[in-house]
Structure 1
Amino acid sequence: MNRKKILLDVDEVICFSGFLEAVNEFLDTNYTIDDFTDYYIDEVAIPKERLDEFNQLVASRNAYKNPIMLPDAIKTIERLNSYYDIFICTSCVNPFDPLESGETMKKKFLFLMEYLPFINPNNYIFTSSKGLIKGDIIIDDRLPNLDTDIETKILFPSYHNKDISEIELEEKGIIRAGYNWRTGWKEVEKILIKK
């Protein structure tokens, strides 16, 4: 029997990388992820005249060295792996520093190997054009990435997508996995694993 394929995002779905940590260190602030509503935190928090300096700091670090893992992510993904074929489908290009993107991809690859050892590395897809990839289910925190003809589209709750209306999601055939990233994986499990 052919198992259904899940396309699974990484950032803000499996973990928060060390990006916010870098913002706080750079600005000497104590922001939390819930202080933001825009996806690109640096565009909001970092003064434009200091963006190059900030990008140099980010490039010098491994954002995936000490990630904040979202509650129940690993446990639920491992359980889903028993029922579905999981493909990691994640962006690898930093639009603010494309030249550093190869190094970022390597760091993300090693993060996946360490934290999700039960997923075959041949199932890693690094792309910013997720709409080109085919699967049966897609789980992502960004609405543009769910603009696809995939049958089951799940919006993972995050700080930047709380204000998307139910009407908009319904029109696009998207299921919301709750409103709180702290409980998002419990909601995903309810949607995808029938008791």
Structure 2
Amino acid sequence: MNANDEKPRLIIDMDEVLADTLHKFLFLYNRDYGIRMDIHQEPGKELHENLPEHLNGQWEIYAHQKGFFRDIPPMPGAIEIVKALQARYHVYIVSAAIEFRNSLEDKLDWLAEHFPFIPWTNIAFTGDKIIAADIMIDDRIKNLAHFPGRKLLFSSPHNLLITGYERVNNWQEVAKLLL
């Protein structure tokens, strides 16, 4: 908790935490290559590692396209629960958006549409997530590994084999832990 404030700071990641990025990728792979939307995703592997080898680099092409991040569906329950979390926490959205240049505007517009109650002052687009806070919710251990506060690993197929972190499988589990 902050010495200057009664509310703890909560950092929330966007992709695969607030935004169902996997759904967007699957939609595009289905549209362009006929890959089934319910393709088996082997635990511990990235989506592209579960696809035919000739499609290995396609995910990067998609992610670099203008508009890719603009129409991703929100994760079920994310909007309502994040809104409720604001009563107990200073909520910050922190996303590694610098890697995909076109994602900056898309992600800002996406947040304005789905999370208009998060002020722009509480949004950070970064490379490394070196933000001071009390709690972080993220799907990537590279972001959680050196974070000094409480770490909540949001489940995604790529991280299902990882242990040693407090895990949340969905937004209802986040609500039970933090509200």
Q: Are positions 1:190 and 2:173 aligned together?
A: no
Cα distance change, pair 143–137 in 1 and its aligned pair in 2 (3 A)? same
Residue in structure 1 matching 2:84, options 76, 79, 82: 79
TM-score normalised by the chain length of structure 2: 0.83
Equivalences for residues 33-48 of structure 1 within 5 A: 35-38=41-44, 40-45=46-51, 47-48=53-54
Question: Which structure features the higher share of helix residues?
Answer: 1
Q: CA deviation at 1:15?
A: 1.7
Q: What's the offset of the Cα at 1:113?
A: 0.9
Any residues of structure 2 matched to 1:24-173 within 5 Å, and which? Answer: 24-32=30-38, 35-38=41-44, 40-45=46-51, 47-48=53-54, 51=57, 55-56=60-61, 58-60=63-65, 62-94=67-99, 101-130=100-129, 132-165=130-163, 169=164
Provide closer, same or farther for how the CA distance between residues 91 and 58 of structure 1 changes in structure 2, counting only shifts above 3 A: closer
Does 1:21 find its partner at 2:14? no
Count, aligned residues = 173
8 Å CA contact retained: 1:19, 1:63: no
Name structure 1 gaps, 5 residues minimum.
95-100
**Which portions of structure 1, spanning 4 or more consecutive aligned residues, are displaced by more than 4 angstroms?**
53-58
Taking the aligned partners of 2:139 and 2:59, their CA distance within structure 1 comes to 25
Structure 2 unaligned spans of 5+: none
AA in 2 matched with 1:10: M
Aligned residues with identical type, % of pairs: 28
* 1:176 maps to 2:176: no
Residues 173-192 of structure 1, C-alpha deviations (whole Å, 9 max, x = no match): x3112xx4xxx111111111
Shift in CA distance, 34/160, structure 1 to aligned 2, threshold 3 Å = farther
Which amino acid is 1:105 matched to? Answer: L
TM-score (normalizing by structure 1): 0.77
Displacement after TM superposition at 1:40 (Å): 3.5
SS of 1:89's equivalent in the other structure is strand
2:10 paired with 1:6? yes
- Tell me which amino acid in the other structure corresponds to 1:23: Y
Q: Is the 8 A contact 2:67 2:102 kept in 1?
A: no
